[in-house]
Chain A
Amino acid sequence: MDAEISLRVDGQAHRLTVDTRTTLLDAMRERLGVTSPKKGCDHGQCGACTVLLDGERQLPCLALAVAHDGAEITTADGLAPPGELHPVQQAFLDQDAFQCGYCTPGQVCSAVAVLDEVARGWPSHASTDLTADPELDHDEVSERMSGNLCRCAAYVNIVPAVQQAGGRS
């Protein structure tokens, strides 16, 4: 069964027909040609597809497109205008926080959301005090970024990249 939906991806409006089984990830990658979000597992297990969906980090491989009619999505490619970089992207470059780059757009989107979650005072499993403002220390960052697998294992560079972008060097 097909359905017609609207999506705004990286500021651009799209009207498209999807199979009701089409995931939000495949809607972007296979219907719209938006391939910044990567597919590493299609099961919500790797984080490679992470995007900002209505402002929060989400896994579009676990979302059905038809259930997100009218959604506003930002991928890593939409974080900054062409020719510019978001501070998180600049920090990933500076810290060499990737190798093959396949997990990277997802890591970048996750990191943007992490900084926002920390700014809003959300605690994590690594927080020692659930009511204090979380610090961007190693354990907080690595815990919050652990939903994004990196088989190249750039983890030791991802943590300082997130800290750099968060203004803590």
Chain B
Amino acid sequence: MTELLEPRAMGQGLVRRDGVAKVRGTATYAFETPAERPAHCALVQATVARGRVTAIDTAAAEALDGVLAVVTVFTAERLASVEDAELAALQTAEVAFRGQVVGLVLAETSETAREAADLVEVTYDEQPHDSELRADRDDLYTPEKVNPGFETDTAEGDVAAAMATAHATVDHTYSTATYHNNPLEPHATTALWDPAGDGFLTLWDSTQGVHPSRATVCQVLGLPQDHVQVVAPHVGGGFGSKGTPHVNVVLAAMAARVLPGRAVKLALTRQQMFSLAGYRTPTIQHVQVAADAEGRLSAIAIDVVEQTSKVKEFAEQTGVPTRMMYASPNRRTTHRLAALDLPVNSWMRAPGECPGMFGPEVALDELAHDLGIDPVELRIRNEPEVDPETGKPWSSRHLVECLREGAERFGWTGRDPRPGVRREGGWLVGTGVASSVYPTMRMADSTALIRFEAGRYAVEIGAADIGTGTWTTLPQIAADALDVPVDDVEVRIGDTRYPIASVAGGSSGLNTWGSAVVEAARAFRGEYGTDPADGDEMETGVDQAAQDEDHAAYAFGAQFVEARVDADTGEIRVPRHLGVFAAGRIVNPRTARSQFVGAMTMGLSMALHENSLLDPRSGHVVNHDLAEYHISVNADVGDLQAHWLDEHDPWVNAMGTKGIGEIGITGAAAAVANAVWHATGVRVRDLPITLDALLPSLP
């Protein structure tokens, strides 16, 4: 147990420190890094889904005025490590997916670079490809682990026996679509290779973690860590897609080495982000639930089928939340993968929990209806006293309180459970609920340095602000740890010149970096007391992952949605959406609220709008831009509210924070689906819910 830091600056809704620069547009993102006469890089991508490049004719491209270099799979430098096939840029003539990079062009201007890339003539020996996910494929396989290291399958008791004897059962297949992270800032890098001595590479990169990014780049290029600097003061969103370096970073570094001493700029186009920057696998979820007449679960099971790229395995942990969410003596979770000739899928906001809180949370709604039990009450009746998976006590778990407070705020009480019976004007009206969950993650390896400088405290750590508010919240933690006013603290982040920091991922950023800052502050005070001399400094690391092992630590929440469906057209609107979360201490209510509502909106977007449509004939996402890949816009969002409980958890870390970037997207789509069912009586089990699924059966 840690002694929780007393909140003074923490808990205040301070305005973002980078706010003025952002509302003026003067905050500098990776591509915008000022550089003398930068060269522009454009990519040549494979137009077949599988095969082999037999020839590349670069003559026309090279003849173009302003072209500086053309590099192809046949001419590129050999990389030190090709272990990670996604990052082995231009190392093989084999094409593993459509859109794979087979060449790059460097030119004086971006216009010339793109024209030259178009002029590069690639000849392929095309081979048949396989890009269709189906649950009935006979070649599904069992991965060794699921992301980031969970057991692939778990089983306890006998689900089949419980299903056979239960008072009520639900047994259905649910599915979620393919989603692309699509941060608004496309992945971009400004790269500079200084050839002096053994060479030094600087990457101004759009990344969720400068140190993890540097480590990967060093490994791939065979460079020592002290010969590479990664800088990312501002990042235009990531949602997981900038959490691990993708091939664009390696390409930018290789391009820079072609033009020593000259900065090179490489930004993916929006279209390229659909094949090169990761995505969330579609999932097919077979869910089984069994219960007695009072709604007490006797079994819960989820069998997941999803996909991975043949190039690199990524097994999304979709079944994992079912292992711990509700009490049930019989339980089973499995994951099976189809390996396809497709781009590499990877992290997207709440991998596992996000899709995994769809099927089961809709199944519970179906069970509640079958049993005539209120869906809020059904969840409360299945509250586990300890973590069902590990038997460990909870560090804190306030799901029931979230459900109760949410029901109260939303006006749930007295809800008519019958579906498809409320009409207001031409609208069918309904409400739905679902739970949210996200594990409190702990990362190893974060170190903070605190220095007393000119009467103020400078805190240095290579942390990231991807919109989460780190520039503002880390000073709040430091101020409380040092017991000084927050204005006396200056934080420096987003650069590998500062001490090592973990990735802004798994909602673990502030948990981990904040812990390092608290450790450093305590050590600083221990060494120098409250009256330090100018220049006194202390650098202290924390292995947050090695902290408390005895508790199951999760944040919980409950989301309530009102859906309206046009009785004639099937158009779906969500005028009200309310979430209540128990996510530990909230460091800054202003920025925290933005994270909650942002993630809830992304959940709404997943429920109704987002859908990457893969054409299995071409292995290509056909709607690969923002006109065709729909995300929720301003007019799609109504009265959307996020609230939270004042939760004190002494087990998670010195601040008592649990991480809030991802929980809001979990359960949101299920709450929408449940509300749409309540409005119409039509149960849609496949996302996104579109009007064509409703129209044939509207009352």
Interface window among B179-187, B527-535, B671-679: B179-187
Contact with A along B467-495 (1 / 0, CB 8 A): 11100000000000000000000000000
The reply on B269 being an interface residue by CB < 8 A is yes
The reply to whether the CB of A135 lies closer than 8 angstroms to some CB of chain B is no
A76 to B21: give the CA distance in the assembly, Å: 10
B625 touches A99 (CB 8 A): no
Alpha-carbon separation in the docked complex, A145 to B594 (Å): 18
* Contact present for B626 and A45 (CB under 8 Å): yes
In the complex, how many angstroms separate the beta carbon of B550 from the nearest chain A beta carbon? Answer: 35
| Docked-complex contact B627 and A155, CB < 8 angstroms | no
* A159 touching B26, Cβ below 8 Å: no
**Nearest chain A CB to B260's CB is how many angstroms away?**
22
A150 to B183, CA, bound (A): 9
Minimal Cβ-Cβ distance residue in B for A80: B24
**A57-80 residues at the B interface, CB under 8 angstroms:** 75-77, 79-80
Chain B residues lying within 8 Å of A94, measured Cβ to Cβ, are 15
The residue on A at minimum CB distance from B269 is A42
Whether A152 sits at the interface, judged by CB under 8 Å, is: yes
A151-B183 in contact (CB<8A): yes
B147 CB within 8 Å of chain A: no
Closest to A143 in B: B635
Q: Of B54-62, B152-160, B230-238, B299-307, which binds chain A? A: B230-238
Contacting residues, chain B, for A142 (C-beta < 8 A): 634-635, 637
A4 within 8 A of B: no
Bound Cα distance from A149 to B361, whole angstroms: 29
CB B448 to nearest CB in A, in angstroms, measures: 23
Q: Name the contact of A96 in the complex, choosing from B112, B466, B591, B601 (C-beta under 8 A).
A: B591
Bound-state CA distance A169–B137 (Å) is 57
- Assuming the contacts A19-B109, A43-B270, A93-B19, asked whether A151 and B29 have C-beta atoms less than 8 A apart, the reply is no
A residues in contact with B40, CB < 8 Å: 30
- Decide if B23 touches A104 in the complex (CB within 8 Å): yes
* Complex alpha-carbon distance, A101 and B27, angstroms: 8
| A100 lies within 8 A of B24 (CB) | no
Render A90-117 as a binary contact track against B, CB cut-off 8 A, 1 for contact. Answer: 0011101011111111001000000000
A30 touches B110 (CB 8 A): yes
- Interface residue range, chain B: 35 or more
A85 in contact with B237 given A43-B627, A96-B594 (CB within 8 Å) = no
The answer to whether A102 touches B637 (Cβ under 8 A) is no
Within the complex, the shortest CB–CB distance from B577 to chain A, in Å, comes to 9
Output the residue of B21, B23, B112, B270 with the most chain A CB within 10 A: B23
B598 with A153: CB separation less than 8 A:
yes
Q: Which of A38, A92, A99, A156 contacts B469 (CB 8 A)?
A: A99
A46 located at the interface, meaning its Cβ lies under 8 Å from any Cβ of chain B in the complex: yes
Verify B637–A85 contact, CB threshold 8 A.
no
Q: Give Cα A98 to B182, complex, Å.
A: 16
Contacts of A164 in B (CB 8 A): none
Cβ contact within 8 Å between B184 and A22: no
B580-599 contacts to A, CB under 8 A, are 590-591, 593-595, 597-599
Q: Provide the A9-43 mask, 1 if CB < 8 A to any CB of B, else 0.
A: 00000000001011000100110010111111111
- How many Å from the CB of A45 to the closest CB on chain B? 4
B20 on interface, CB distance cutoff 8 Å: yes
Least CB separation from A102: chain B residue: B236
A156 to B595, CA, bound (A): 12
Minimum C-beta distance from B542 to chain A (A): 26
Q: Say whether A149 contacts B626, CB under 8 Å.
A: yes
Instruction: Report which of B15, B29, B597 forms a contact with A156, defined as CB distance below 8 A.
Output: B597
Residue of A whose beta carbon sits closest to that of B466: A100
How far is B25's CA from A33's CA once the two chains are assembled, in angstroms?
A: 12
Contact of A40 among B110, B184, B598 (CB under 8 A): B184
Q: Which A residue's beta carbon lies closest to that of B115?
A: A21
Residue in contact with B634 in the complex, picked from A19, A37, A100, A158, CB distance below 8 Å: A158
> Hey, what's the 0/1 contact readout for B591-616 against A, CB within 8 Å counting as 1?
10111011111100100000000000
Could you mark each residue 256-268 of chain B with 1 if its beta carbon is under 8 Å from any beta carbon of chain A, else 0?
Answer: 0000000000010
**Which chain A residue has the least Cβ–Cβ distance from B641?**
A156
CB neighbours (8 Å) of B392 from chain A are: none
Question: Does any Cβ of A come within 8 Å of B632's Cβ?
Answer: yes
Asked if B237 contacts A152 (CB within 8 A), the reply is: yes
Nearest neighbor of A88 in chain B, beta-carbon distance:
B23
Pair B185/A40 contact, Cβ less than 8 Å:
yes
Closest to B66 in A: A19
Q: Is B200 at the interface (CB under 8 A from chain A)?
A: no
Q: Mark B33-57, 1 if CB is under 8 A from A, else 0.
A: 0100000100000000000000000
- Interface residue A5 (Cβ < 8 Å from any Cβ of B): no
Instruction: Indicate the member of B25, B31, B270, B467 with the most A CB atoms within 10 Å.
Output: B25
> Is B633 engaged at the interface, CB distance under 8 Å to the other chain?
yes
Give Cα A89–Cα B44 distance, bound, in whole angstroms: 40
Task: Say yes or no: A99-B185 contact (C-beta < 8 A), given A21-B111, A104-B23, A149-B631.
Answer: no
Is the CB–CB distance between A100 and B23 below 8 Å? no
**Cα-based distance from A76 to B631 in the complex (angstroms):** 24
Residue of A nearest to B19 (CB): A93
Task: Check if B184 sits within 8 Å of A102, measured CB to CB.
Answer: yes
Chain B, residue nearest A26 (CB): B110
| Cβ–Cβ contact A77 & B239, under 8 A | no
Docked Cα-Cα span, A19 to B635, in Å, equals 38
The chain A residue with its CB closest to the CB of B40 is A30
The yes or no answer to B173 lying at the interface (CB within 8 A) is no
* In the bound complex, CA of A19 to CA of B111 (Å): 8
Bound complex: CA A152 to CA B664 (Å):
12
Tell whether, in the assembled complex, residue B25 and residue A104 are in contact, meaning their CB atoms are under 8 Å apart. Answer: yes
B18 within 8 A of A: yes
Q: Are B635 and A146 in contact (CB under 8 A)?
A: yes
The answer to whether B468 touches A99 (Cβ under 8 A) is: yes
Contact B594 A154 (CB under 8 A): yes
Chain B residues within an 8 Å CB radius of A41: 270, 625-626
29 contacts between A and B (CB under 8 A): A22-B111, A29-B32, A30-B40, A35-B28, A38-B184, A40-B186, A41-B625, A42-B270, A45-B627, A85-B24, A96-B15, A100-B235, A100-B236, A100-B237, A101-B27, A101-B236, A102-B184, A102-B185, A105-B25, A141-B634, A146-B633, A146-B635, A149-B184, A153-B599, A153-B602, A153-B637, A154-B598, A155-B637, A159-B634
Chain B contact residues, CB within 8 Å of chain A: 15-16, 18-29, 31-32, 34, 40, 109-112, 182-186, 234-237, 239, 267, 269-270, 466-469, 590-591, 593-595, 597-602, 605, 625-627, 631-638, 640
Extra 8 A-B pairs, beta carbons < 8 Å, given A41-B270, A101-B236, A151-B239: A19-B111, A30-B40, A36-B24, A40-B184, A42-B270, A99-B594, A104-B22, A105-B24
The 8 closest A-B pairs by CB, nearest first: A36-B25, A100-B467, A102-B236, A101-B22, A105-B25, A99-B467, A153-B601, A35-B32
